[in-house]
Amino acid sequence: QVQLVESGGGLVQPGMSQLLSCASSVNIFEFNSMAWYRQAPGKQRDLVAQITVGGTTSYADYMKDRFTISRDGTTKTLYLQMNDLKPEDTDVYYCKAKILSDNYWGQGTQVTVSS
């Protein structure tokens, strides 16, 4: 039974940092990959960063120098460290896990970047 729960969102000032967490109900190494997506109003849900079961990471070009994806197998948690946040980073952020062709999604956490 796979459940993903995001946390760590909220209001943050431009230029500051925020850490998002995604708690998994199962061993994260059962997943072929995990990823963070974000979705703005009127926009599609876009990939931010992903990590494979082997630890290989990849990032969307826009945020690759500011965001870092990581995970902790002991706590079954996926993280997204967001640095130098900008107003355009304001979105709902979603955690996704994949087992072969099966995708699992969290409920999302709102990140608002504003002064």
pLDDT at position 14 over 90 = yes
Residues 6+ apart with CB under 8 A from 70: 51, 78, 79, 81
* Residue the block writes with tokens 């995708």: 103
pLDDT in tens, 31-46: 999 999 999 989 999 9
Residues facing 36 on adjacent strands: 49, 95
pLDDT tens digits along 53-100 = 999 999 998 877 899 999 999 999 999 999 999 999 999 999 999 999
Pairing status of strand 10-12 against strand 109-113: parallel
Give kind and range of the element (H or E) at residue 36. strand 33-39
Give the model's pLDDT for residue 41: 83
Q: What pLDDT is attached to residue 62?
A: 80
